[in-house]
Structure 1
Amino acid sequence: MSASTPSLLAAAREAAAHQHYPQGALYMVATPIGNLADIGLRALQVLSLVDTVACEDKRHTAALLQGYGLHKPLLALHEHNETEAAQTVLQRLQEGQRVAYVSDAGTPGVSDPGARLAAAVTAAGLRCVPIPGASSITALLSVAGFTHQAGGWNGRFVFAGFLSPKAAERQREVQQIGADARACVLLEAPHRIEALAKELASLGERPLTVGRELTKQFEEVAQLPAREFPAWLLAGAHRTRGEFVLMVHPQAAASGEETALDAAALRTLDLLLAELPVKTAVRLCAEITGQPRNALYDAALARRKTAPETDAD
């Protein structure tokens, strides 16, 4: 990318220099998740403008900036020193400096350091400016294709990030994911992916979309039943390498009008619907029975549609 660096930085200035970049502000800058070409023009403009770049790994960030022809003073701020380093950032902001924060890849504060820094800056009454960019989460969402499933997809998903490294806790978390009708996005590192795959296999036929090394040279996206995930990993020696983002698809509707809600939950729902509006009845029923709220909501709508009309009092 170095051959085109001057024109790239010129394009960033042309596109973004007219915007206001206040002094004494922290800029949370999203960086590429693997492909240098995925940097945003506004991110480049901010990185060229700031006085300091706080970062998760100084060596990694120095190489990243060099790829764009940039050289900036770097300040290490990672999960082990975030609270202390945040005080240094605050001091520089109070002096009127512009400071950017970048993690090793993607958006700071999303399964990466940065959240405590942003909280400290906000608590001090200083400005924290988001500079969005590449995301493995939305990248996988865009190719997972939910609409073929029964009932379609309503756009709701849960971001679970990295599950617990402890086997018993991870198993409990996967059980919770299986009980939730919504889509769920997970992240995982290569050294733990086989253990996670064994847990996810318990979800049986529920569809799973696997993204490995997204945006990189050996990117791979596959969709398969969750039970087949361990075998898929073992089908190629390279498949346990690289960073993973996984999507457990929404729970498909059962062959009837409702998903697999137990009889007691449906009875409770009927009693509540007789006295309350749908949303209130569904919320209370979910709290009482522990059944998925989305499934209860679909069941409530179906019951309202099929209920016989009564004479008005």
Structure 2
Amino acid sequence: MRARPSSNYGPDTEPGSTGRTFLIGGQLLNAPKPAPGLYLVATPIGNLGDITLRALETLAGVDIIACEDTRVTRRLTERYAISAELKPYHEHNAVMARPKILERLAQSASIALVSDAGTPLISDPGFKLVREVSAAGFPVIAVPGASSVLTALSVAALPTDRFFFEGFLPAKEVSRRARLAELARIDATLVMFESGNRVQETLKDLAAVMAGRDAAICRELTKLHEDVRRAPIAELAKTADTLETRGEFVLVMGPPPKDAEVMTQHDLDDLLRSSLVRDSVKDSVAHAVELSGRPRREVYARALELAKELRGGDGEA
């Protein structure tokens, strides 16, 4: 196949030149061209056998498959003998690619959007494209399927009636702990992604901020070396240094215990006063936010008031 510019979504092949077929169990099946529009197609998060029949038919029938990495998506299309053309759509070329996708849709093209794994737009590029395609009046159709968020929730053995998806946490420790302190106030199961090179430190931060909660570490879900560990977060943090860090991680934190103590305003004031005697306002606020789970803005305002009382100044340090 000849090389094509990465941002070229023009009609460089004749309509109907793709085979519009796919292969399952040695049987070649026909795939009709879908009606014009943008199709958000979920792909497997690991095991390529998790693709749905509707997804295969859609991917085989569209004019173009827009994907994060053509090399990743090609492994899927080659597995099922799909010959639809692959075009990159990712955060680095999105500004150039979106107008070309809209132009092809105006020419009655059918286009599938996929991420490297799972459901498009979930911690992956695509929101701006969907917004512009919808605003332009073109159909946007979901073809649902695999999702690492829902897969992790289903195997974590934690409450699923209410959950909050955070995505990736901040990379820097101070920002990460501050964000975890905010998340600690949510009365629901928490689901978050983490990379292998940060998962050990994140587990320790989770234990420091959300002590007492049950948790699950889900690694390489649906893949050959799938591993799910379930235990109180304090126990998981103690063994974090022995954790295999290769692969993709989903961390699931149970909701706060019903008998968890809530820090009163009086308790917060006592904590701030004791900290302000020896630490700066900035450090005292960071410590109080971590322990109380209250918003930083609220704690900072109270710290300034108490600092003025204690030091007789403007409270800044």
How far has the Cα of 1:61 moved from its partner? 1.2
How far has the Cα of 1:97 moved from its partner? 0.6
Q: Which residue of structure 2 aligns with residue 269 of structure 1?
A: none
SS in 1 for 2:182: helix
Specify every segment of 5 or more residues in structure 2 that has no aligned partner in the other structure, as ranges.
1-21, 267-292, 296-317
SS in 2 for 1:169: helix
Q: Which residue of structure 1 aligns with residue 211 of structure 2?
A: 204
The answer on whether the counterparts of 1:5 and 1:68 sit within 8 Å (CA) in structure 2 is no
SS in 2 for 1:111: coil
The answer on whether the counterparts of 2:63 and 2:85 sit within 8 Å (CA) in structure 1 is yes
Q: Which residue of structure 2 aligns with residue 216 of structure 1?
A: 223
**Percent of matched pairs sharing the same residue:** 39
Between the aligned partners of 1:178 and 1:95, the Cα distance in structure 2 is: 49
Q: Which residue of structure 1 aligns with residue 132 of structure 2?
A: 120
Between the aligned partners of 1:228 and 1:159, the Cα distance in structure 2 is: 23
| Higher percent of residues as helix | 1
Q: Which residue of structure 2 aligns with residue 183 of structure 1?
A: 189
Q: Which amino acid aligns with 1:250?
A: P
Say whether 1:134 aligns with 2:146. yes
Q: Which amino acid aligns with 1:76?
A: P
TM-score normalised by structure 2 residue count: 0.72
How far has the Cα of 1:65 moved from its partner? 0.5
Of 243, 246, 261, which aligns to 2:248?
Answer: 243
Superimposed CA distance per residue, residues 136-193 of structure 1 (whole angstroms, 9 cap, x where no aligned partner):
11111112223xxxxxx47111100001112221111111122222111001111221
Q: Which amino acid aligns with 1:234?
A: D
Between the aligned partners of 1:190 and 1:183, the Cα distance in structure 2 is: 22
Change (3 A) 1:173 1:264: closer
Of 99, 102, 113, which aligns to 1:90?
Answer: 102
Between the aligned partners of 1:222 and 1:52, the Cα distance in structure 2 is: 40
Q: Which residue of structure 2 aligns with residue 22 of structure 1?
A: 35
Say whether 1:225 aligns with 2:237. no
- What is the root-mean-square deviation in Å for CA atoms of aligned residues? 2.5
Q: Which amino acid aligns with 2:128?
A: R
How far has the Cα of 1:263 moved from its partner? 5.5
How far has the Cα of 1:98 moved from its partner? 0.3
SS in 2 for 1:197: helix
Change (3 A) 1:49 1:65: same
How far has the Cα of 1:115 moved from its partner? 1.2
SS in 2 for 1:179: coil
The answer on whether the counterparts of 2:34 and 2:62 sit within 8 Å (CA) in structure 1 is no
